[in-house]
């Protein structure tokens, strides 16, 4: 950008050359001072004052150039902390700042190189408003970073008239700076996996603090060794702080937690427990539908989601449609009613012993039906018996993690997929890796 060719506003050019216009010149000087003071207030940047300004016409909109000077006259030696006013060199800088009056804004100023009077070190002054060798002010980079947490990098680049490379660099710098902050102690750990590409069986493991409602880590695989490596980064005190671990019903996770966090209570996530039961109910419906006559098939048509949803969440029209499906086959009706009864046990009971008795009675009812799909679920129930009962002590669920999974899928969709896992991980941690009440800076 050629600053020499930047056109100034008409009121600020063509100084008077004779005494007859001297008074007018004086008026112009006052206008200039008032304008500069106003721009300094609008700029509101520590140690920066506006001396002059210019507006450049551009195809993408006007550009505001602010010519500034630094209000601090001395530098602090980084070696011995001595104060120096001995300036040895000036260097022109031009950095992007946030918009003023809806115009892209650039700051022009001279950065100074001092010589320390005590140790003789020559050093370049450090500015709080502009990072070392950065082409944007710190606050502008923060705005870009925040926008990247809600939009794709391509959209952010277009919004601020930056290259995608610049936007990615700003985002990576600030995201890494945030996630490198000290890890807080975790009491309730949530573990869940999300399928990036179901057809290719590509999964990542999401670990969350269920009390603080934030993502702690995203691991590239759901393998035991990956989880073990992550847990080994915890200190003994951090491990002892983890009292509860909520997980889906996958044995490798339970094995790792039992080994590395033996003191923690493992809770089988109720949503995954219900998911397992719903899957067996769906299998039962499919078998019935395959063997049914034409009228029954017609009645069962479109009943898949009605059967697995909680009965109290259906509309009147959906309830009527569900009733037609249940009336069509008594076996399906029995299986559905048992599913609803199981759901109510988790929904209403608060006492572990009471829940144990109700679940035992429920198992007896299932055994009386001799339904092989429900019996398969009972087998799973028994394999995770203590972990399921632990839910009634803690009433901890991975519901937050399930919500995070939806947010993660939205991130993937927004970016049209991620080719690089590190970029994917960084984006998730930047958006979801901090408590909702946590301030960004």
**Comparing 143-157, 167-181, 396-410, which segment has the lowest mean pLDDT?**
396-410
pLDDT of amino acid 12: 35
C-alpha to C-alpha distance for 197 and 203, rounded to whole angstroms: 7
Q: What is the mean pLDDT of residues 202-223?
A: 89
**Comparing 144-148, 336-340, 419-423, which segment has the lowest mean pLDDT?**
419-423
Rg (the chain; Cα; Å): 33
Q: How confident is the model at residue 284 (pLDDT cuts 50, 70, 90)?
A: very high
pLDDT of amino acid 201: 67
Structure confidence by residue, pLDDT tens digits, 302-313: 899 999 999 889
In the chain, the N- to C-terminal Cα span, in Å, equals 32
Give, to the nearest 10 degrees, the angle between helix 270-291 and helix 372-383: 160
pLDDT of amino acid 434: 75
Is the separation of the CB atoms in 182 and 438 below 8 Å? no
pLDDT of amino acid 172: 92
pLDDT of amino acid 22: 40
Q: What is the mean pLDDT of the chain?
A: 86
pLDDT of amino acid 226: 95
Decide if pLDDT at 183 tops 90: no
pLDDT of amino acid 68: 93
pLDDT of amino acid 34: 59
Structure confidence by residue, pLDDT tens digits, 30-82: 555 657 788 888 888 988 999 888 888 888 888 999 999 999 999 999 999 99
C-alpha to C-alpha distance for 99 and 122, rounded to whole angstroms: 35
pLDDT of amino acid 336: 96
Of 402, 404, 394, the C-alpha closest to 436 is 404
Q: How confident is the model at residue 197 (pLDDT cuts 50, 70, 90)?
A: low
Structure confidence by residue, pLDDT tens digits, 120-135: 999 999 998 998 889 9
pLDDT of amino acid 102: 86
C-alpha to C-alpha distance for 420 and 412, rounded to whole angstroms: 12
Q: What is the 3-state secondary structure (H, E, C) of 272-285?
A: HHHHHHHHHHHHHH
Contacts of 420-426 spanning 24+ positions with Cβ under 8 A: 421/204, 421/220, 424/204, 424/218, 425/218, 425/220, 426/171, 426/172, 426/175, 426/176, 426/179
Range of 25-34, 77-86, 394-403 with top mean pLDDT: 77-86
pLDDT of amino acid 398: 64
């Amino acid at each position: 950008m050629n600053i020499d060719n930047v056109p100034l506003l008409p009121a600020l050019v063509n100084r008077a050359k004779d005494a007859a216009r001297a008074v007018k010149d004086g008026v112009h000087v006052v206008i200039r001072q008032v304008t500069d003071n106003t721009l300094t207030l609008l700029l509101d940047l520590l140690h920066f004052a506006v001396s002059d300004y210019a507006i450049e016409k551009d195809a993408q909109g006007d550009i505001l150039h602010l010519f500034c000077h630094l209000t601090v006259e001395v530098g602090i030696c980084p070696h011995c902390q001595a104060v120096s006013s001995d300036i040895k060199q000036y260097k022109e800088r031009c950095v992007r700042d946030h918009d003023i009056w809806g115009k892209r804004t650039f700051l022009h100023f001279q950065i100074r190189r001092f010589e320390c009077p005590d140790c003789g070190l020559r050093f370049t002054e450090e500015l709080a408003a502009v990072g070392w060798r950065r082409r944007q002010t710190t606050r502008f980079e923060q705005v870009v970073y925040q926008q990247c947490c809600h939009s794709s990098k391509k959209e952010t680049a277009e919004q601020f008239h930056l290259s995608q490379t610049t936007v990615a660099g700003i985002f990576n710098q600030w995201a890494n700076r945030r996630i490198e902050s000290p890890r807080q102690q975790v009491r309730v750990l949530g573990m869940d996996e999300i399928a990036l590409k179901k057809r290719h069986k590509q999964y990542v493991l999401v670990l969350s603090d269920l009390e603080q409602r934030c993502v702690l880590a995203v691991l590239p695989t759901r393998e035991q060794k990956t989880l073990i490596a992550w847990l080994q980064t915890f200190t003994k005190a951090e491990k002892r702080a983890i009292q509860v671990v909520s997980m889906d019903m996958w044995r490798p996770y339970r094995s790792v937690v039992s080994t590395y966090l033996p003191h923690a209570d493992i809770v089988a996530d109720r949503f995954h427990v219900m998911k397992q039961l719903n899957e067996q109910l769906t299998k039962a419906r499919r078998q019935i539908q395959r063997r049914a006559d034409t009228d029954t098939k017609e009645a069962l048509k479109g009943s898949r989601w009605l059967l697995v949803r909680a009965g109290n969440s259906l509309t009147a029209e959906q309830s009527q449609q569900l009733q037609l499906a249940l009336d069509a086959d008594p076996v399906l009706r029995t299986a559905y009613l048992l599913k609803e009864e199981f759901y109510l046990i988790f929904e209403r009971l608060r006492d572990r012993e009471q829940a144990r008795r109700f679940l035992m009675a429920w198992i007896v009812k299932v055994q009386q039906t001799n339904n092989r799909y429900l019996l398969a679920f009972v087998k799973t129930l028994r394999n995770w018996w203590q972990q399921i009962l632990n839910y009634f002590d803690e009433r901890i669920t991975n519901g937050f993690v399930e919500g995070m999974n939806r947010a993660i899928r939205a991130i993937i969709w927004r970016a049209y997929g991620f080719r690089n896992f590190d970029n994917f991980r960084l984006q998730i941690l930047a958006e979801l890796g901090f408590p909702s009440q946590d301030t960004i800076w």
